[in-house]
Amino acid sequence: MEKIIVVAIDGPAGAGKSTVAKIVANRVDIEYVDSGAIYRAITKKMLDSNIKIEDYSKIEELLKDINISLLNGKIFINGEDLTPFLRTKEVTELVSPVSNNVAIRHKVNEFLNEYSKNKSIIMDGRDIGTVVFPNADFKIYLDASLEKRSQRRFLEKTTNMSLDDIAHSIKKRDDNDKNKSFGALKVASDAIYLDTTDLSVDEVVDNILKIIKYNGVKV
């Protein structure tokens, strides 16, 4: 592919964003970037450094000291591979409130913009089409019922939480993510909204590929 394209995929937890974004990335031969992983890595770093959400000055100090890098699907902070810790219960519980911090959001957005310069990417998150790449070539908002999203997370078996606990935790994150003062989860006015509740992964992928192809990109 020659033309640089940016595909932004937003939506709540468990809507299938990362699963479909990885497949689309493969099919279109562009890089996939998981923006949530950056918030998770910073959360892990805060836990390791014993920095609390309300320690604003310590957070600012930490942000000055950290160097984020991505390599082969892994995420490093100051050279330390934090990938194995991103999905732990303690990180998952804390990441949404951590991502309310505006200084952290600026740091992540700066990194994402710099990292994606001059290359085609597909990125998923909460504010990719609204804040990070307001001029993205394609904006897709993936949604699904809370029940379906919880079931998907349960079946992934990446956590030992019960289905009820997962639903409770997702609902709490949704509420927080939708009510942030900056970078809140919302549907961009020019995004295509896809309800994936009754769609298979293949159907969602096909929908997205059609949107991209229809707009002249070779897939």
Least separation in angstroms between CB 216 and ligand DC: 27
Pick the closer one to ligand DC by CB: 133 or 212: 133
Task: Point out which span in 56-64, 125-133, 143-151, 189-197 binds ligand DC (CB under 6 A).
Answer: 125-133
Interface of this chain with ligand DC, residues 83 to 102, rule: CB under 6 A: 95-96, 99
Check binding of 139 to ligand DC (CB under 6 A): no
Q: Pick from 20, 142, 177, 196 the residue near ligand DC by CB under 6 A.
A: 177
Contact flags string 3-42 toward ligand DC, x per CB under 6 A: ----------x---------------------xx--xx--
Check binding of 130 to ligand DC (CB under 6 A): no
**Torsion from C-alpha of 22, 25, 29, 30, nearest 10 degrees:** -110
Cα separation, 65 vs 28, whole angstroms:
36
Q: Which of 180, 105, 111, 130 is nearest to 9 (CA)?
A: 130
Pick the closer one to ligand DC by CB: 91 or 217: 91
Burial 99-134 (b: 16+ CB within 10 A, else e): bbbeebbebbbebbeebbeeebbbbbbbbbbbbbbe
Q: Which of 188, 17, 176 is nearest to 93 (CA)?
A: 176
Cα separation, 122 vs 25, whole angstroms:
6
CA angle 25, 30, 36 (to 5 degrees): 65
Pick the closer one to ligand DC by CB: 83 or 217: 83
Pick the closer one to ligand DC by CB: 9 or 205: 9
Residues contacting ligand DC: total by CB under 6 A: 15
Check binding of 173 to ligand DC (CB under 6 A): yes
Query: In this structure, what token pair is assigned to residue 25?
Result: 């990335």
